[in-house]
Amino acid sequence: MITVKNLHHHFELGKKGEKSTLSVLRDITFQVKEKEIVAIKGRSGSGKSTLLHLISGFIRPVQGEIWIDGTKVTDLNETDFAAFRLQHVGFIFQNFQLIPSMTAHQNVELPLILDGTPQEKRKTIVGETLRKVGLENHGEHYPSELSGGQQQRVSIARALVLNPPLILADEPTGSLDSETEEHLLELIQQLNKEMGITFLIITHDDQVAHIGNRTIEIADGLLVEGGVTHEI
């Protein structure tokens, strides 16, 4: 599903004339198979979030290749990458990243609108997706009217609504209490089993990492490959 080959990345720091570079990722190579849940673990500043942003296409790598679902995404331009993301990748963010002026229904509907799905079909699909995450009765609520766990479920529903084969999750439980975190992790496992969705989860939390089939550890920009924790 995901292949990362010899990935290097650095950030440029300082003003013009006094620039320096900060290397964040060095020679990262790994693979994620279909239907796997892979956790990328590391301490704060280890480069794990940068790795996710590179895979997402939010930033471009200095060197190396990334392949997702058979497509070399590092060769795609901004427009093609956007189209690719819409069809192939769902996102779950730490701060949910819901649009506050839209209801839960409208937030989940957004990828369908961008995809050009007809309005009459959208209502059914959104209703069905909200039901999957247990929010069928909260469609008309605005994010501010929902709890953190409910907001994250809306975020998951938005990631699921176009049936992508891959979901990238950046600290999905970072803003949740331990009980809600547990429910959410169960939901991720359930979606993985029932729908066969591949999850790549960035976390510093051992409990989150524990649900993965495999954990990849990053330290100071270098990859420390972990073993399989559960059989697929």
Partner 1 sequence: MKFKDQFQFVRQNMKKNKVRVFMTMLATAIGCAFLIVLASVGFGLHDSLIQDTMQDRAVTEIQVHGKEVDGAYQTLQDEDIEYFESISGVKAVTRNKQLQQSPVFSIDDDYQLQTMAMTTDFPSELKAGLELSKGKLPEKDNEIIVGHDFASNLAESNISDEELYNDENQVKEEYQYDGKLLGKEIEMKVIQIEDNEEKTHTIPLTITGITEAPNREWFQDQNVYISESVLEEVEQFTGTSRGMVSTPGQEDMSSGQQQEDYYDQVTIYAKNIEVVQEISDLLESKDYASYSVVSEMEQINMMFTIVKAGLIIVGTIAVLIASIGIYNTMTMAVTERAPDIGIMKAIGAKPKTIKRIFVLESSMIGLAGAVIGTAIAYIVSMAVNFALPLILESVFQEELPPELRFSMIPWTLVLIAVGICLIVTVLSGLRPAKRATQIDVLKAMRREV
Q: Where are the alpha helices (DSSP H) in 41-200?
A: 48-56, 78-88, 104-115, 119-132, 148-160, 178-195
Shortest distance, CB of residue 232 to partner 1, whole angstroms? 28
- Site for partner 1 (CB under 8 A): which residue of 13, 22, 59, 219? 59
The whole-angstrom distance between residue 173's C-alpha and the CA centroid of its chain comes to 12
- DSSP H or E segment with residue 89: strand 89-92
Q: Which is nearer to partner 1, 99 or 228 (CB)?
A: 99
Q: Is 153 an interacting residue with respect to partner 1 (CB under 8 A)? A: no
| One character per residue 89-128, x = contact with partner 1 (rule: CB under 8 A) | x-x-x-x-xxx-x--------xx-xxxx--x---------
In whole angstroms, give the CA distance from residue 7 to residue 232: 26
**What is the Cα–Cα distance from 92 to 187, expressed in whole angstroms?**
13
Query: In the set 6, 23, 60, 82, which binds partner 1 (CB under 8 A)?
Result: 82
Site for partner 1 in 61-80 (CB under 8 A): 78-79
> Quick check: 146 and 154 in contact, CB under 8 A?
yes
Q: How far is the CB of 126 from partner 1 (least distance, A)?
A: 14
Sheet with 166-170, side-by-side order of all strands:
89-92, 166-170, 198-203, 37-42, 214-219, 222-228
- For partner 1, the binding residue among 62, 76, 86, 195 (CB under 8 A) is 86
CA 229 – CA 207 distance, rounded (Å):
12
Sites for partner 1 among residues 34-53 (CB under 8 A) = 53
Binding site for partner 1 (CB under 8 A): 53, 56, 58-59, 78-79, 82-87, 89, 91, 93, 95, 97-99, 101, 110-111, 113-116, 119, 158
